[in-house]
Amino acid sequence: MKFSPFSKNLIAVLFLLIVSQSLNAQKQKKYVLDWLSQHEVVEEFGKISDEIWSFAELGLQEFKSSALLINTLEKEGFKVEKGLAGMPTCFVATYGSGKPVIGILAEYDALPMISQNPRTTTKQPLVEGAPGHGCGHNLMGTAASAAAIAAKKAMEKYDIKGTIKVFGSPAEEMLISRPYMVRAGLFDGVDAVINNHTSSDFGARYGVNGNAMYSVIFSFSGKTAHGAGAPWAGRSALDAVEIMNISTNFLREHLFYTHRMHYVIPKGGEAPNVVPDKASVWYFIRNTDDRLEDMYERVLNCAKGAALATGTELSEIKVMTAIHQSHENKALAELMDANIQQIGMPEWTVEEHEFAKALQKELGKKENGMSKEVSKLNAPKSVFTGGGSSDHGDVTLITPTSTIRFPGVVPGAIGHNWSNVACNYGSLAWKGLNAGAKAMATTAIDLLTQPKELQKIRDEFKEYSKEHPYKTFLPKDAVPPLDINEELMKKYIPLLEKNRIEE
């Protein structure tokens, strides 16, 4: 191919433009890394995270946790819209204007029943039976906010155009907020989204992960009667729950192996001598995107059959959430990975390694201490290994999204367990949070300043969307179950406050 002198010049100019863009990005990224490395900054966000850890607020009850993040972002000049998508604890914090629009996901809810004293290596609840941060969402919401603030500082200093948005997403542990946030249009016009999760390693991820899921409460209504005097006059709603569960347990054998299904019985009557006229069972019904709806129909039939068999009524089918698998963008993960490789693993102190080893010993795991090296970006596994779910799946089908896993959790600590709660507080957790914030902030700078990279990400997404167009699994009338954790939090807030860790 021959180039005219004019096109040669054009190529040279374009080449220089790309080189200067990437040199500028290096300078701007160094600026955010330096800012985040300052001792006061590490400490400021570490304390915010510890505070949210102490609140230990369950899904849709994260009033203090979301307020703390909102205040932090507002103080830095972010404009915050609150109470979005029908959830009082959902928010979007925005800085800047115009394209590109880069989103960062922030979570902050805790899990029930796993309260634990921080930095302990044996099971020691802080408040017996109370909630605890056993998935590190205290660190994630804070790291996302720290990253956005760091990126904003660079935008100001270097006059970087575009918008940065923090998506305050409640109730991730219950997989609730994102399908509603998508339905409310909160992600419209967002060019790319950075997701994050705590981990024992430091790396990025792409490909299809986890399971899609329905979270549904099936309620039955019957008739009360004296359990001994005239049981024939009663119709037991609890019988319906039990028969439904027997049916679904037989159904398991004929479901594809990708499925997961589990339930609890939130209501099953109050006294054995009164035939219960009200009972309900709460199911998580999980499978791949293409198998979920069929599985849900079959579980629904088990509920209908149980009502028929017991002469009760299937009085309510309350779908609280319905979500997709996550489909994460490769080009975005590669961008994240390049930043992670540069940032490297935090340096753990001898005490931190010792803590890790003691915890590993207690859990019967290999006593290797903390992870020392960052992970390589691996291709997704070709066999299905999912099982769990994350509600950011819906976001991945609306706009290109990938996940940064940041360190801080002791390798071998168990998710949704006291051992994880013990890790998510204090210096070790702060270092992980800081590393995560650095990876997110540098990736945000890349996305804001390197249009070619963003275009590559968006092109991949456009191609993928042809095969995977988004359609919500949420029924039209579904609404977030705002009161689901109200009673539990009412019970535990005073006890958690009384037992607060004072540094």
Applying CB under 5 A, the residues found at the interface with Zn ion are 135
Report the residue number, 277 or 391, with the smaller CB distance to Zn ion: 391
Token duo for residue 118: 């921080």
Alpha-carbon distance of 400 to 392, in angstroms, equals 11
Report the residue number, 135 or 244, with the smaller CB distance to Zn ion: 135
Least CB distance from residue 194 to Zn ion, whole Å?
16
Report the residue number, 135 or 164, with the smaller CB distance to Zn ion: 135
Q: 294 burial class (0-12, 13-18, 19+ CB within 10 angstroms)?
A: exposed
Least CB distance from residue 137 to Zn ion, whole Å?
6
Least CB distance from residue 107 to Zn ion, whole Å?
7
Report the residue number, 133 or 438, with the smaller CB distance to Zn ion: 133
Token duo for residue 316: 């309510």
Task: Give one word for 86, left, alpha or beta, with left for phi > 0 and alpha for psi -120 to 50.
Answer: left
Contact 88, 70 (CB under 8 A): no
Least CB distance from residue 27 to Zn ion, whole Å?
34
Least CB distance from residue 333 to Zn ion, whole Å?
18
Alpha-carbon distance of 261 to 287, in angstroms, equals 9
CB environment 127-163: b (16+ within 10 A), e (fewer): beebbbbbbbbbbbbbbbbbbbbbbbbbbeeeebebb
CA angle 114–117–120, rounded 5-degree value: 110
Q: Write out 208-267 in H/E/C secondary structure.
A: EECCEEEEEEEEEECECCECCCCHHHCECHHHHHHHHHHHHHHHHHHCCCCCEEEEEEEE
Least CB distance from residue 201 to Zn ion, whole Å?
15
Of 364, 373, 359, give the one whose Cα is nearest residue 407. Answer: 373
Report the residue number, 142 or 248, with the smaller CB distance to Zn ion: 142
Report the residue number, 35 or 418, with the smaller CB distance to Zn ion: 418
Of 88, 47, 67, 48, give the one whose Cα is nearest residue 485. Answer: 88
Token duo for residue 134: 């056993």
Report the residue number, 163 or 389, with the smaller CB distance to Zn ion: 389
Report the residue number, 90 or 454, with the smaller CB distance to Zn ion: 90
Least CB distance from residue 57 to Zn ion, whole Å?
14
Least CB distance from residue 90 to Zn ion, whole Å?
17
